[in-house]
Chain A
Amino acid sequence: MVRDASAASTKSLDSTIDVVTPENISFEYELAGPFRRIPAYFIDLAIRLVIWVVLLIAVSLSGMAVGGGELAIAIWLLCWFVMEWFYGGLLETYFNGQTFGKRMFGLRVLRTDGQPINGLQAVMRNILRFVDMMPLISLQEFEAGPLALPTCMFGLLAPMMNRRYQRLGDLVCGTMVVVEERRWAVAMARLDDAAIHRLAAELPGNLTVSHKLSRALATYVERRRYLSPLRRAEIAKHLGDILLPQLKLPTSVDHDGLLCALYVRTFVAPTAREATAHV
């Protein structure tokens, strides 16, 4: 089961997707759009170019050695065909949705339900890249040989128009590209300042906080160590000005310390939960 982060009207726009496994475990993946995929594509292109050149040299040398120049060209063209059409498909099949470029940039192709892709999907989405590169401008008009200049317009327009940034190949195969980002799960924030714990103990025993306030406190305490003292004071003032009189605390109490103390009481030592008062 998949829930798009941007699907529900109440949810805000984001480039993430929630995937819920049959075991009812939810994963949030960050989706990779066209720009995010470009560096990986160029790495794969560079690898293909290097392989072509190496093959060309090897086939030319062996052709010269056995005197079969035409056979050597045929072998090289065959290799070129396989590389051009099946490089991505084969790698994504055997490396679980990754090419070398994708692995380097932490990208992976998955089915839209979050499951690994199969061989047919891997090959098909790579073959259909040709369509995503259209319209192609033939350079024969400009006497530049049998080359074509890809504009990639389809490959840019299609991801703009759908929530999962799927290009045409992905839409046909039911796949999407996600970013495998290793994020540290934020545990309970540690507040070692004794003054905070003293203030937490002084707070009224009958204290409970609303869901919105508890979320605000958690976000504030998680991020406060990255903020300057001036900025902390500026943010904490919004709540501090209201909470100090309500909790009957002296106006000299530091707003930042008050929010930390509330956090301690709410998440670390909620000993007085039987209380009745509500903030």
Chain B
Amino acid sequence: MQLDRTQITIRPRSGWEILDLALRICWLQHRPLLLYTAITAVPLYFFNMFVLRWALADEYSYDTISYYLWLMGLLVFLEAPLVTLAPTDMLGRWMFSQDTSWPAIRADLWAVSGRLFWCFGIVRGGLAAFGLALSLEPSLDPSGIDFLLVVLALYSALVRSARPFLPEIILLERSWLRKRTPQTITIGRRNSALHGPSTGDMIGRWMLMSGAASLLAISLIISAWYCVAMLTNDWQWNAIMVQVVVPVSFWLMVMYTTVVRYLYYLDLRIRREGWEVELRVRAAAQELRGQLA
């Protein structure tokens, strides 16, 4: 691994520049990104369709479609961290020109699976989201479960905006849950050290990213609507729009936000920890060690 030869130039960037660069990376690395997003997004797509199957059983009216999409959006939002894990690991490996094949990614994910389960499944409410989704009542009238889903989504939004880089800390820095030696940097400690002094900045950037992703999703959905309407000569929203186009657009936006979040993570490490300095120094040390050997 050549530490000073990275796929993306290591330098501080503005939030706007990162949004543009993420678009470019999505295009250049679309194959692995789509593949690793699909690995978890496709099963979740069918899971969501299964738990919401009753919502569109009778008719495609304005009320049923809007309620279905509202619940679908909530579920995608809550499930998004799970979908971002494999693409995050792939980006970390691609950055240093390492192997990005599925066996390598799978091995990485397996090595930290316990930590991922605890942090995302328990602490960040992943399991609770699945439990609530499975207990949704087949009624178009909002129920208590809907309310709990909204509360969980708000909790998730708050935690994810203030502490966005937990996947990177677990997958790329391999921090531990508990101290193994006195020098061990635990996930909690690393989380506070990295995010603590920049919480305001993190929330601002998270909002910028959410705004950009929403704009992209709207643009994608309306463009697809145009294409479907041109092909079918029907401007009404039908099953293709509601059950395919909109959920797929949501998952594509999750993929885009994964890239943006990874670039924000790099940027924060550069600004706060002088990561580019460390890479250069370590590369020089590597060279010296080679000469001495």
Contacts and interface: CB of A to CB of B under 8 A. Distances in A.
A279 interface: yes
A227 interface: yes
Contacts of A224: 274, 277
Contacts of B284: 210, 212-213, 215-217, 239
Interface stretch (A7-15, A47-55, A190-198): A7-15
Interface of B: 4-11, 13, 16-17, 19-21, 23-28, 212, 216, 219-220, 222-223, 225-227, 235, 273-274, 276-278, 280-285, 287-289, 292
Contacts of B219: 151-153, 156
A16 B288 CA distance: 31
B27 A160 contact: yes
A216 B280 CA distance: 5
A246 interface: yes
Contacts of A242: 285, 288-289, 292
Interface of A: 5, 11-16, 30-36, 39, 135, 137, 141-142, 149, 151-153, 156, 159-161, 163, 165, 210, 212-213, 215-217, 219-220, 223-224, 226-227, 231, 234-236, 238-239, 241-243, 246, 259, 279
3 tightest A-B CB contacts, nearest first: A33-B20, A216-B284, A14-B9
A125 B74 CA distance: 40
B226 A35 contact: no
B81 to A, nearest CB: 23
Contacts of B222: 137, 149, 151
Contacts of A213: 284, 287-288
B28 to A, nearest CB: 7
B57 to A, nearest CB: 27
28 contacts: A13-B9, A15-B20, A33-B19, A36-B17, A36-B19, A36-B20, A137-B225, A149-B222, A152-B219, A156-B23, A156-B216, A159-B20, A159-B23, A160-B23, A160-B27, A161-B27, A210-B284, A212-B284, A215-B284, A216-B281, A219-B276, A219-B277, A219-B280, A219-B281, A224-B274, A231-B273, A238-B281, A246-B288
Contact of B280 (A163, A220, A234): A220
Contacts of A16: 9
A153 B274 CA distance: 37
A177 to B, nearest CB: 11
Contact of A220 (B11, B20, B277, B288): B277
A279 B284 CA distance: 10
Contacts of B276: 219, 223
Contacts of B289: 242
Nearest to B220: A153
Nearest to B216: A156
B285 A239 contact: yes
B226 A12 contact: no
Nearest to B219: A151
Contacts of A35: 16, 19-20, 23, 212
A278 B12 CA distance: 33
A35 B19 CA distance: 6
B159 to A, nearest CB: 25
B27 to A, nearest CB: 4
B226 A235 contact: no
Contacts of A227: 273-274, 277
Contacts of B21: 13-15, 33
A13 B25 contact: yes
A212 B287 contact: yes
Nearest to B95: A12
A151 B277 CA distance: 42
Contacts of B216: 156
Contacts of A11: 9
Contacts of A14: 8-9, 11, 21
A166 to B, nearest CB: 12
Contacts of A160: 23-24, 26-27
A226 B288 contact: no
Contacts of A5: 9
Nearest to A30: B17
